Amino acid sequence: MIRPLRTRHRRTVAALWIVVPALLAWALLSRPPQPRMDDLPAWRGEATPAGHPRRVAGTPFELDGVRAEAAVFSRGVERHLRLRLLERSVAPDLLAYWTAGAGKDGGDGLPADATLLGRVPGTREIVWRLPADGGSIVLYSLAHQRRVASGALPTGSAGESRGGEPRGGEES
């Protein structure tokens, strides 16, 4: 007869009442925050003198592994990287990471402290805010699980102010 089956069903439902909401809440609350670039300043022609970005001395700089235009700009304590690949990379899903070190740590993989900046949009120009002054940039192929290019970011005071301001689209 099926009374034991009904009892088992009731117990299953009771267990689901506890387990599923708890796991669902845990899964949703455990999601790491997504880095967003929504708060990048609108720099296209409306920069004010006070908030004007300035090119950091030592830029443009080069990446080893890929031909690219790369420059670092400062605005106050903020540092921004403008990047445009000059050749189309054969690696799909190319991601840009910032690391505080020289960018050579981690072998062909990513350094342990790598911070995701965003996706490299082909040969389109892109601007990211950097977590800190200095450090390095690493371009990493998610599909191939290997480093494609890297380069040390220039550090120091701002140099020239106009003509080199970031123009690129803002990643969000």
Partner 1 sequence: MAVSYKAVGWNRQKRIYDGVVLAGVLSYLGLFVGSGIVLDAQATLETLLIRGLGTCAFLLLTIILSIGPLARLDDRFLPLLYNRRHLGVTMSVVALAHGVLSLVQFHAFGDLNPLVSVLVSPGRWEGVAGFPFQPLGLAALVILLLMAATSHDFWLANLTAPTWKRLHMLVYVAWALLVLHVALGALYGERHPALVAVLAVAVAWVLLVHGAGALRERRLDPDSVPGARDFVRVCPVDAIPENRARIVSLSGERVALFRYDGKVSAISNVCQHQNGPLGEGCVLDGLVTCPWHGYQYRPHDGTSPPPYAEKVPTFRVRIVDGVVEVHPRPLPAGTPVEPARIPGHPPTEATP
- Say whether residue 32 binds partner 1 (CB under 8 A): yes
Can you tell me the distance from the alpha carbon of 118 to that of 48, in angstroms, rounded to the nearest whole number?
Answer: 27
Give whichever of 12 and 123 is closer to partner 1, judged by the CB atom: 12
Give whichever of 17 and 62 is closer to partner 1, judged by the CB atom: 17
- Say whether residue 9 binds partner 1 (CB under 8 A): yes
Single out the segment in contact with partner 1 by CB under 8 A; choices: 20-28, 107-115, 129-137, 147-155. Answer: 20-28
Can you tell me the distance from the alpha carbon of 77 to that of 107, in angstroms, rounded to the nearest whole number?
Answer: 31
- Say whether residue 22 binds partner 1 (CB under 8 A): no
Can you tell me the distance from the alpha carbon of 136 to that of 122, in angstroms, rounded to the nearest whole number?
Answer: 20
Distances (CA, A) of 154 to 9, 60, 69, 96, 137: 65, 9, 14, 17, 10
Q: Which residues bind partner 1 (CB under 8 A)?
A: 1-3, 5-6, 8-10, 12-14, 16-17, 19-21, 23-24, 26-28, 30-32, 34
